Structures are given as C-alpha cells and as structure tokens.
Amino acid sequence: MADINLGVGGANSAVAGGYDIENSVKTEADNSEWMQRATGGGNDSNLKQHSISAWVKRTELGGTQMILSMANIGRVRFDSSNKLQYQFKSSGGGALTTTRVFRDTSAWLHIFVVADSTLSTANDRLKIYVNGVRETVFDYNVAPTQNSDSNGWGLYNSYNLNFAGKSDDFYNGYIAETFFIGEQSLLPTDFGEFDDDSGIWKPKEYTGTFGSNDTYLDFADASNLGNNAAGGADLSLNNITSADQAVDSPTNNFAILSQSMQGYYEDLWSVISDGGTKFRCTEFDAWITTVSSIGVTKGKWYAEFQPTGARPNNMYGIASMEQLDNNSGYIYGGHLGEANESWGIGYYQTNGRLYKVQNSGSSNILNFGSSISQNQKVGVAIDMDNHNLYIAINNTWQNSGDPTSGATGTGAISFDATETVAFGLSGYSLGSGNDTIVSVNFGGYRTGGLPSINSTDANGYGVFRYAPPSGYYALCTKNLAEYG
C-alpha cells in the first residue's frame, strides 16, 4: 500500500495569493463532536447525480472516521485502515474503497467525489479525486447499475445529513469548505486548481449554482458553525461550540504536533489530540518527546505551550528534524537535550534548568530561568537567522532574554546552524492520574479554542495569548512563503 502525501501546505510547500479560506472547524472523536441536518428538508428529484467536495486535515489516524454521510447509508469516510471510502448506495449497488492509504497529518487534502449513474461507462459512474487527481486503483470497486437512484443521498425527508460522523465513526481533525450538491455532476476544477508556479492543488471559489436542498459549510461564523451558506437548512451542532472554530485552513496551513513523526513508543505511551494541539504522556516513569509538523531553516518563529496536567514534568524547546529517525532520544526514555541522545534543547519546567545536545556534544545550564507552574504560558521563540532560542514564562523572557537583539543574542541559548529545527516538547508521567498534559498553540488552534485575550503576529496570522516578539511569526505556510 502506498501512502499519499500530496496535501496543501506541508512542511516544504506553501501556496500564497488567490482565493482564501479563512476558517475551518476542529472536530474530536473523544468529545463526540458532529453536526446534523435533520429530515424534512424536501427530496431531490434527481437521485442519479450528486457532487461532494471537502477540504480535510487529519490529526489522528485509525478507526472509522466519517466526513459526510446520509443516515450512514451514503457516505464518504476514512476506514480503520486509513483508506478512503465512497458509497453511493442504491438498489443497483455502488461503492469505492481506495488501495491508497491517507496517513499524512501535516497537510490539507481536497476530497472530491461525484456520482452520475446515467453514464454508459460503468467505471465512470462513481469517481474519487484527491487533490485534483482521480483515484484509479481500488480494493473495492462496484459501479451502480445504469440510471439507478441512490437511496443514500438526497432523500432529506427520510434521512439525516451527518457531518463529521455519528455514533462510533467521529472524525478527528480539521474540515474546511464542504459542499453537498445534489442533482449535479460537477468537476474537481469547480472547487480547486493547480497553482501555476508550484503545481500544488489549491482551493478556488465555487461559482456554480445551488439547489434548494444543497449544503455549503464555510465555518465562518463562530456563533453558528452549522450555518448553511447555500441558503438551505442549517446543521444542528452536537458538542461543537464556537471554541471549535480554527484559523488553520487549506490556504494557510499551520503547524500542529506531528502524529506522523511519532515512533512506536510515542504512539504507545502518549496521546496527541484536539486537532494536534494537546499532548498527554501516559507511560509510568518515562520521557516521551514530540515535535511540530513543520520544521524551519531560516526566519523567526513563535509558539506557546501551557501545562495543565497533574504532573509538572515537561520540557519545552527545539529538536532537529534530520535526526528524528536516529531511534535515539525520540523513543521511550529520551527527552529534549538529554546527554548522548538526539540533537535538541529543552527547558525543564520543574527547575528552570536548560539541557542542550548539539553535534559537538551536550551540556546543561543551571538556573537559566524560573520554574513553570501549571497553567502558565510558555513562549518559545526561535531565531533561525542568528541560531538563538528564547524562553518566556507569561511573557517574561527568561535569563533576561531579548528576542529582538538579533546577532547579539541577549539572554539566548545558541544552537548549531546545520539543522532543520522543529518546536519540541517532552513529557514525563508517573501514572495513576499523574499524567503530563500540555496544550500547544502554533497559532491555528489550541485546546479549548483560541484565546479570548489574544494577539496575532505582525502579518495578522495566528492567534496567541501574548503578541509574538517583533519580527517573529506564526509557523504557517503564508509566513513560510515570505520568511522561510
């Protein structure tokens, strides 16, 4: 099986300019978060054709995760093997399951499915496109009989339209601009296009028509995330609130904690949740480390961390992206800056000590700063242009640090200039309710929603509790296009 990693705005790509999508919604299976358009909205007269478009960014893998369904009969979802499924559901059958698996948690994907049972060629009656490219290899491929009606889509008087799951198939991650358009057989190019310079598939504005039963979710109104911008009936919210609106989007992809860079022990003894912004270390007497989904080689970058768990043993800092596969330091027993482990720098929450491992060796600095209490905000500023790291506690920079000091590096921790650097986080649990829990904010979303008292960076991107230092930016693709 081949993985797919063609998404918009991964670590080494960015698309700027053109049509912008401002918001997405974050949904979480643990909280049973989903939406529903109830029955009674009237039926489509043509049940032979429909088109579905959705932008998705997965943050947790495994388990069945629904994107859109009607009464769980017609559906678009990821199965427990991370394959994409599309079910037309009619008396004449109709379903597709890809051979390809989708396990990238760093980038956005555009999923477009279209049904047209009137077509004479059987294999053209159901189609799946991912990022503008048609899927052609399937584990399961059954075409509906010609001119058959779907009894799983468009029957609003009989079935509910469900978004992001229901029962045991909830979706984990972000979803942006989602369309269900009945009675029309559309093209992926109605919703996206290939960028002329990068060749990356990117969103474009839909300029077509809507029927009275169609649904368009843009998630622009935090007070009504189920608003149907197509003008039809809104979706009701189940365990979704305004706090689930995010600014992470297909046109400005933000860093999250990386699920795909987790190793065996990280997966076994830690949990990344809440849209890749919550880290929980669960293993007794063990250090577990995770990193941001995007690394940088230049520019100046800012992120915030907030410890909330019962156990105050955490480290905050940076790690080398090149050395993550060394199986040393990023498995059971390793923390940021641990001697004889992988390249990294960690600021220890318990006592304010700094641990540092570079290619040239390891060291630590006693009394670099203050200890960190639960619920305090930890600011981490990375100056890749001068290779300096700064740590703040509730906006007070430790060691009298001045992130704007440039080459002087006042109060900074210097680091080697040879690595691609990611934000890093280590946790240490004692078990039995003494787990370490940290909320992380790279600007696109954080556990509990974006801060009510907040600031953006100088470009207006990201939402932080404290303003990033002058010249420092949220780690997102629009900023990467300019500074990274």
Confidence of residue 260 (pLDDT cuts 50, 70, 90): low
Across the range 406-423, mean pLDDT stands at 94
Question: Which pLDDT tens digit goes with each residue over 11-21?
Answer: 334 455 589 99
Residue 332 has pLDDT above 50, yes or no: no
Residue 192 scores a pLDDT above 60 = yes
pLDDT the model gives residue 11: 38
As a whole number, mean pLDDT of residues 417-440 equals 85
Domain regions of the chain by residue span? 24-246, 264-483
Mean pLDDT of the chain: 89
- Interval 347-368: pLDDT, tens: 999 999 999 988 878 888 888 9
Strand pairing partners for 470? none
Confidence band (pLDDT; 50, 70, 90) for 89? confident
189 vs 328 pLDDT, higher one: 189
Q: Which of 115-119, 295-299, 337-341, 342-346 has the lowest mean pLDDT?
A: 337-341
pLDDT at 456 over 80: yes
Amino acid 57: pLDDT:
98
**Res. 329 pLDDT band, cuts 50 70 90:** very low
Q: CA-to-CA distance for 320 and 341, rounded, in angstroms?
A: 11
Q: Which two tokens stand for residue 317?
A: 């800092």
Q: For residues 35 and 288, what is the distance between their CA atoms, to the nearest angstrom?
A: 35
Q: Is the pLDDT of residue 6 over 70?
A: no
Q: Is the pLDDT of residue 1 over 60?
A: no
Domains 24-246 and 264-483 share a fold: yes
Architecture of domain 24-246: Sandwich (2.60)
Say what the pLDDT of residue 433 is: 67
Is residue 289 very low, low, confident or very high in pLDDT (cuts 50, 70, 90)? confident
Whether pLDDT at 421 is above 50: yes
pLDDT band at 44 (very low <50, low <70, confident <90, very high): very high
Percent of the chain residues past pLDDT 70, beyond the cut: 90
CATH number corresponding to 264-483: 2.60.120.920
Grade residue 5 by pLDDT with cuts at 50, 70 and 90: very low
pLDDT number for residue 346:
94
With bands split at pLDDT 50, 70 and 90, how would you rate the model's confidence at 266? low
pLDDT in tens, 380-403: 999 999 999 999 999 999 999 999
Mean pLDDT of the region 423-439: 82
Question: What is the structure's pLDDT at 267?
Answer: 57
- Position 66 scores a pLDDT of 97
The highest-confidence range among 112-121, 159-168, 287-296, by mean pLDDT, is 112-121
Q: What average pLDDT score do residues 246-270 get?
A: 78
